[in-house]
Structure 1
């Protein structure tokens, strides 16, 4: 009942992972700080809630360790799934077409295998940073560097809080900078591993668009590749989502006429 009221008030959002329904604070709420202040105050005086949250933190930590161990042990199978769904060459050609041939200054690539993507655009950027999956993506150590192009290449699925990572990326995008996300379209998969069955496989357009909107980015374009069937007759589909920082660079507006009222 309480969760239903919070959901109707848009203080929490509901999402599904596997066969379970979860709730979390709505990331786009302007008054989220107020809600967090109230929650923090409750924690100081409620030992039951504090104990539950501590236990939840331990469970999440165990899940992350198990997920990382599983995927590191099954890199070959993951690559097979990816390559079976759509050849890397097809994705690379689409990325080239979107980015174009106009040189730019800075690029940030976040993925499991970043070398191929950096090589793909090596003739266009002046400076590039690569962040592999094992790094702390929630805290990008890029200093004051901002980027014209950021690519999330087959990595969003592995992140516990994708929207938090997108918020971090939005903070390092230059005005009018571009973000390219490559991943599977949302699809539920059955798994014998309990730490995997709670995870959704892929993402919906609505989910991606909402996350981008929450962090101040605009979804400009979606490229969908034809679905293929795997050995279990599951139709897997890959998409590329192109987002942009709506702010304009000074160079883009300095020659425009400005009228004052």
Structure 2
């Protein structure tokens, strides 16, 4: 905190925002992940208008973030900025053994367990079809190992996972990034992702509802963007690549993981695949049109999967720093 300096007026306003019992309890709870007004009402036992008013004051002070997901508004502790650093300092001084904090934590645990049970019910309902697809292509562990090797050990400041699904990529790369956002068009899948992130204790990633072709985010914010097994569901995958490129900061990288060309027509009819894989040349052309330079392509061929085995391809591309700066 020594490097963060506030004027006396700024500091007073921030401390006024955080220095109220209910608002401090809200900050403690939001440090544990994304929660709705309804969640917080259940935990704190206060009325929805009262909780909403407190959250509005915290958001105006720059201490929490708010984002919309359909009819629901989610809140989380702000991750960046001077006010966020002050909030982390204040929260580090909170006695976790305080009876009120402990009681709130127990109720938060109940909310997260209910969330996990609902997510698991959805996941179990679709588990058979996901397992069928996994049996066709190379093992997930091999794909994940190749991804980690491509990404490398250098720290990632900001990660964006498009079509995050179960949030697996956010968990896998959690040691690499400082902050991350996962976007998905399915509220059910977002519930699964939130439950998985809660279970794994990943607090620096959040997920939100969004259209991969029209992302609810400012451009140029991320230095690593992932699109994992999503493009084959899209009628115009190249548009998603253009939107992903828009999200990249100068010199940022895009990783696309998808299927190589194949002839398994049943995937169209039974699993909603629009595209039966992508060739090196097609994907490279699209990435080039999106203003990206392909740096590496890795093919992962299945062993022992028979004639219906599917090859998984990973494309690594980069947004040139000079081009990105001139475009800005």
TM-score range, shorter chain: 0.5 to 0.7
Instruction: Report the 3-state secondary structure (helix = DSSP H, G, I; strand = E; otherwise coil) of the residue aligned with 2:321.
Output: coil
Could you state the TM-score of these two structures normalised by the residue count of structure 2?
Answer: 0.49
Q: Quick one: structure 1 residues 185 and 145, their matched pair in 2 at CA, closer, same or farther if it must change by over 3 Å? A: same
Output one character per residue of 1:69-90: Cα deviation in whole Å (capped at 9) or x when no partner: xxx9866323432344111111
Q: Quick one: structure 1 residues 184 and 167, their matched pair in 2 at CA, closer, same or farther if it must change by over 3 Å? A: same
The reply on whether 1:143 has 2:195 as its aligned counterpart is no
Match of 1:160 among 196, 220, 235: 235
CA displacement at 1:245 relative to structure 2: 0.6
Question: Is this contact kept in 2: 1:110–1:133, CA < 8 A?
Answer: no
Provide the aligned C-alpha RMSD in A. 2.8
CA distance in 1, matches of 2:183, 2:293: 23
Output one character per residue of 1:128-164: Cα deviation in whole Å (capped at 9) or x when no partner: 1101243311111113561110010111111121001
CA distance in 1, matches of 2:163, 2:156: 20
CA distance in 2, matches of 1:178, 1:186: 24
Which structure 2 residue ranges, 5 or more long, are not aligned? Answer: 1-123, 187-209
Q: Quick one: structure 1 residues 200 and 159, their matched pair in 2 at CA, closer, same or farther if it must change by over 3 Å? A: closer
- State the match for 1:97 in structure 2: 149
Q: Quick one: structure 1 residues 133 and 175, their matched pair in 2 at CA, closer, same or farther if it must change by over 3 Å? A: same
- State the match for 1:111 in structure 2: 163
- State the match for 2:247 in structure 1: 172
Going by fraction, where is helix more abundant, 1 or 2? 2
Tell me how many residue pairs correspond in the alignment.
Answer: 178
Question: Is this contact kept in 2: 1:148–1:178, CA < 8 A?
Answer: yes
CA distance in 2, matches of 1:224, 1:191: 23
- Mark the structure with the bigger radius of gyration: 2
- State the match for 1:76 in structure 2: 128
Which structure 1 residue ranges, 5 or more long, are not aligned? Answer: 1-71, 251-261
CA distance in 2, matches of 1:101, 1:196: 35
Greater relative contact order (Cα < 8 A, sep 6+): 1
Q: Which moved more, 1:131-140 or 1:154-163?
A: 131-140
Instruction: Report the 3-state secondary structure (helix = DSSP H, G, I; strand = E; otherwise coil) of the residue aligned with 2:266.
Output: coil
Match of 2:173 among 112, 121, 124: 121
Q: Which moved more, 1:89-98 or 1:137-146?
A: 137-146
CA distance in 1, matches of 2:172, 2:127: 22
Question: Is this contact kept in 2: 1:114–1:130, CA < 8 A?
Answer: no
